[in-house]
Amino acid sequence: MSRTQVAIIGAGPSGLLLSQLLHLCGIESVVLERRSREYVEGRIRAGVLEQGTVDLLNEAEVGERMQRECLVHSGFEIAFGERRLHVNLQDLTGKSVTVYGQTEITHDLIEARLALQGRLLFEAENVSIHDYDSKRPRVRYRHQGADHELDCDFIAGCDGYHGVCRATVPAGACKLFERAYHYGWLGVLADTPPVSPELIYVNHPRGFALCSMRSKTRSRYYVQCRLEERVEDWPDERFWQELRSRLPEGTRPALITGPAIEKSIAPLRSVVVEPMRFGRLFLAGDAAHIVPPTGAKGLNLAASDVRTLHRALVAHFRSGSDDLLNTYSERCLRRVWKAERFSWWFSSILHRFSDDEFDRRMQQAEFDFLSTSRSGMAALAENYVGLPE
Which residues are known catalytic residues?
A: 73, 201, 293, 297, 384
For CA atoms 12, 15, 18, 19, give the dihedral sign. negative
Q: Any alpha helices (H) in the chain, and if so which ranges?
A: 13-24, 37-42, 51-59, 64-69, 89-93, 102-115, 164-168, 236-246, 298-319, 323-326, 328-350, 357-372, 374-385
Cis status, amide bond into 193, omega within 30 of 0: no
Cα separation of the two ends of the chain: 38
Sequence-ordered list of residues with C-beta below 8 angstroms from that of 113, at least 6 positions apart, any chain = 16, 19, 20, 23, 31, 120
Cβ atoms of 66 and 354 closer than 8 Å: no
Return the axis-axis angle of helices 298-319 and 328-350, rounded to nearest 10°.
170
Euclidean distance between CA atoms 171 and 116, whole angstroms? 39
DSSP summary character for residue 134: S
Within 10 A of 3 (CB to CB), how many other CB atoms are there?
A: 14
Counting every residue written for the chain, the total comes to 389
Euclidean distance between CA atoms 277 and 251, whole angstroms? 47
Q: Look at residue 4 and give its three-state secondary structure.
A: coil
